[in-house]
């Protein structure tokens, strides 16, 4: 396993540790207060733990080297993690709804709410620090798994903040139905986030193109070499698979060029692209620029 993969695993273990800590703290807060809002927060932390363990396992799979059965590697495993994490979030929201609706009909008073709120605040700060770290590392290393886990934890931070405010208002106003209403609002919010993660996972599994910014970097290189050497480019295709990017294109060179000369230029262009697009695998097909047959295979399905 590569050093980069080992480093990413270390951050996944950080998410596991944070989930275990917040489960204990938030469950204690619910037990002390009886607040269904705080219970909803504790249930989401259970999903955090499941998601962190799943992220850890998927990162290990994604870091596995290519083999005969998977010559392009296993990086798409990260999309399964993000998709399943989104589904877990939606299931947690369903559990919150089941608990909150009866409490909305039959409200109950809260016990020791201030102590429960203080404990929940500590758990929220733990999640906030962990989420910031995961989001930064995920973006830096283009890991959708760590980004998904970071977004999930950040969602937990915002929902926890809403729960804290809601329970505090219950204490101040005495309006007991506000507690289950806050829980219902938490459920609605995390359903939205969960479906967003699943949508992003599906996009990755469907071979979505690399970002417009990265595509622009590549086309700018094409323009530069076309002006300098009189070459052409077409059939430019890209796809993203977890941390990896795959880029392919046809390089049309003057008819009089030797194979060695065309190969040297393609190697130079590949190196330029890899220096600008992180984790890029580049595939080039060389063709003579004036041969009509060179223009018959621009589409994915050659006609």
**Domain for residue 200, yes or no?**
yes
Pairing of strands 280-288, 232-241: unpaired
pLDDT of 1 over the 50 cut: no
195 and 233 inside one domain: no
CATH for 217:
3.30.70.1350
Could you report the per-residue pLDDT of 14-49, keeping only the tens digit for each?
A: 888 888 998 899 889 888 888 877 777 787 777 777
Greater confidence (113 vs 253) lies with 253
**Where among 164, 185, 205 does a domain terminate?**
205
Pair 124, 180 in one domain = yes
Please report the pLDDT score of residue 62 as a whole number: 67
| Residue 46 domain flag | yes
277 and 129, same domain (yes or no): no
Do 114 and 57 share a domain, yes or no? yes
Q: Which helix (H) or strand (E) holds 222?
A: helix 212-229
Question: What CATH number has the domain bearing residue 19?
Answer: 1.20.1510.10
Distance CA 63, CA 8 (A): 10
| Concatenated DSSP letters of 76-145 | THHHHHHHHHHHHHHHHHHHHHHHHHHHHHS----SSHHHHHHHHHHHHHHHHHHHHHHHHHHHHHT-HH
pLDDT band at 79 (very low <50, low <70, confident <90, very high): confident
Q: In what order do the strands lie in the sheet with 232-241?
A: 232-241, 244-253, 280-288
- Same domain? For 201 and 243 the reply is no
Give the total number of structural domains in the chain.
Answer: 2
Window from 86-100, 215-229, 247-261 with minimum mean pLDDT: 86-100
Whether 167 and 124 have beta carbons less than 8 Å apart is answered as: no
In a domain, 301, yes or no: no
Residues 192 and 239 in one domain: no
Partners of 284 in beta bridges? 249
The residues that bridge with 246 in the sheet, in sequence order, are 239, 281
Domain assignment of residue 37, yes or no:
yes
Q: Considering the domain boundaries, does residue 303 fall inside one?
A: no
Domain boundary among 179, 205, 231: 205
Q: Is residue 191 part of a domain?
A: yes
247: pLDDT confidence band, cut at 50, 70 and 90? very high
In a domain, 300, yes or no: no
Side-chain half-sphere exposure of 23, counting CA atoms within 13 A: 14
Judge if 11 and 48 occupy the same domain: yes
Residue 168 and residue 278 in one domain: no
**Structural domain of residue 178, as residue ranges?**
3-205
Last residue of a domain, one of 205, 233, 265: 205
**Average pLDDT taken over every residue of the chain:** 82
Instruction: For residues 103 and 226, state if they share a domain.
Output: no
217 and 161 within one domain: no
Considering the domain boundaries, does residue 302 fall inside one?
no
Both 127 and 267 in one domain: the answer is no
Residues 99 and 138 in one domain: yes
Question: What does the pLDDT read at residue 2?
Answer: 47
Q: Rounded to two decimals, what is the model's pTM?
A: 0.59
- For residue 203, give every residue at least 6 positions away whose Cβ sits within 8 Å of its Cβ, in sequence order, or none: none
Mean predicted confidence (pLDDT) in 226-244: 89
Q: Identify the burial level of 15 via C-beta atoms within 10 angstroms of its C-beta, where 0-12 means exposed, 13-18 middle and 19 or more buried.
A: buried
């Amino acid at each position: 396993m590569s050093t980069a993969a080992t480093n990413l695993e270390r951050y996944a273990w950080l998410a596991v540790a944070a989930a275990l800590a917040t489960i204990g703290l938030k469950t204690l807060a619910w037990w002390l207060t009886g607040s269904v809002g705080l219970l909803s927060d504790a249930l989401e932390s259970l999903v955090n733990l499941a998601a962190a363990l799943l992220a850890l396992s998927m990162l290990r799979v994604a870091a596995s080297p290519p083999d005969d059965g998977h010559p392009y590697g296993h990086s798409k495993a990260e999309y399964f993690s993000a998709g399943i994490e989104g589904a877990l979030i939606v299931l947690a929201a369903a559990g919150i709804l089941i608990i909150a609706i009866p409490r909305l009909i039959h409200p109950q008073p809260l016990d020791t709410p201030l102590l429960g709120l203080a404990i929940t605040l500590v758990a929220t700060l733990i999640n906030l620090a962990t989420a910031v770290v995961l989001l930064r590392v995920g973006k830096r290393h283009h890991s959708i798994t760590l980004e998904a886990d970071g977004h999930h934890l950040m969602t937990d931070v915002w929902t926890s903040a809403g729960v804290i405010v809601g329970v505090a208002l219950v204490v101040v106003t005495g309006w007991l139905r506000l507690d289950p209403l806050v829980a219902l609002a938490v459920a609605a919010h995390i359903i939205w986030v969960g479906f967003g993660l699943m949508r992003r996972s599906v996009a990755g599994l469907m071979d979505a193109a690399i970002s417009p910014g990265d595509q622009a970097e590549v086309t700018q290189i094409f323009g530069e070499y076309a002006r300098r050497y009189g070459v052409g480019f077409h059939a430019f295709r890209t796809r993203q698979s977890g941390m990896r990017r795959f880029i392919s294109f046809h390089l049309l060179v003057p008819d009089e060029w030797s194979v060695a000369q065309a190969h040297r230029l393609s190697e130079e262009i590949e190196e330029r692209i890899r220096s600008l697009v992180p984790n890029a695998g580049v595939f080039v097909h060389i063709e003579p620029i004036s041969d009509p047959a060179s223009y018959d295979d621009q589409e994915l399905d050659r006609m």
